[in-house]
Amino acid sequence: MKKTSGLLINPKKGIKGTEGVLLFVVLGVCWQVTTTMLPLRDPSLYPSPAVTFMALRDSLPELLRGTWSSSLILVPGYLLAVILGALWGIVAGSVRWVHRAFDPFAKVVAPIPPTVYIPYAIALMPSFRVSAILVVFIGAFWPVFVNAAAGAASVPLRYRDNAGILGFGRFEYMCRVVFPASLPNIFAGMSVGLALSFILLTVAELFGANQGLGRFVQYYADYADYPRMVAGILYTGIITFGAMALLDFIKRRVLFWVR
């Protein structure tokens, strides 16, 4: 094993991390071959990579405005879900009577697909933005809650005994023992919740948004402008990848003791 120009090289495995890049290259080549060399029934439905990236370049100002609009929905709903899901999950996983009281409710409500709430939330809330934030919150809350509760419940009993010996009260025990021990589970729930948040955000914007990433795709699909529609899908994927990568970076920095 040796290090060259910042890249980790293994004689047997090659350069670490190139597999993902190679997969995108292969998919890009397949896309190019499919749209330029194969006899397609309706070529307008399959824009080539060059046409799609030109549409992406031309639509970039509109997509940036849509990103800002979508972030005003995604960020509040997701952050609120992370905070409340982690706090309540730790309580439910640590306090037995809370677990017994809340667990049946969670088993009934958590499996319900959050998308079914969208039409009713739009009709119930005073504005589309508030209703979309609510739907994003519901979708992200349950993965964070379930994982936080599982992490809190799995804290070894010796930790609690040691905390008692040190004179920790209930609140101090939660903050200094249970919360750090549950962080790996909480971050696992945050990753699932973030992915669900993007899905729910896009679906909600298909229903009643005036702008946003989901609305961009829907708008140009309605007008059969498929290059811009595909460009919007690719752009949404890039934004989602960036958000997931940022969360993974934060996770590695916070959980520095986990390898």
pLDDT tens for each residue of 8-24: 445 455 455 687 788 88
How would residue 247 be classed by pLDDT, with cut points 50, 70 and 90? very high
- Does this model's pTM top 0.75? yes
CATH superfamily for domain 47-254: MetI-like (1.10.3720.10)
Q: Give the closest residue to 133 by CA, choosing from 67, 81, 211, 66.
A: 81
Q: Which amino acid is at 88?
A: W
CA distance 192 to 187: 9
Question: Rounded to whole angstroms, what are the CA distances from 20 to 152, 226, 246, 247?
Answer: 35, 27, 18, 19
For residue range 96-127, what is the model confidence (pLDDT) as tens digits? 888 888 888 888 888 888 888 888 888 888 88
pLDDT of residue 64: 93
Two tokens, residue 226: 């498929």
Tokens matching residue 4: 């060259």
pLDDT of residue 9: 47
pLDDT, residue 5, reads 45
Q: Which part of the chain is CATH 1.10.3720.10?
A: 47-254
Count Cβ neighbours within 10 Å for each residue of 137-172 and write b for 16 or more, e otherwise. Answer: bbbbbbbbbbbbbbbbbebeeeeeeebeeeebeeee
Please name the residues in contact with 53: beta carbons below 8 A apart, sequence gap of 6 or more.
231
Distance CA 31, CA 64 (A): 26
Per-residue pLDDT reduced to its tens digit, 74-100: 999 999 999 999 999 999 988 888 888
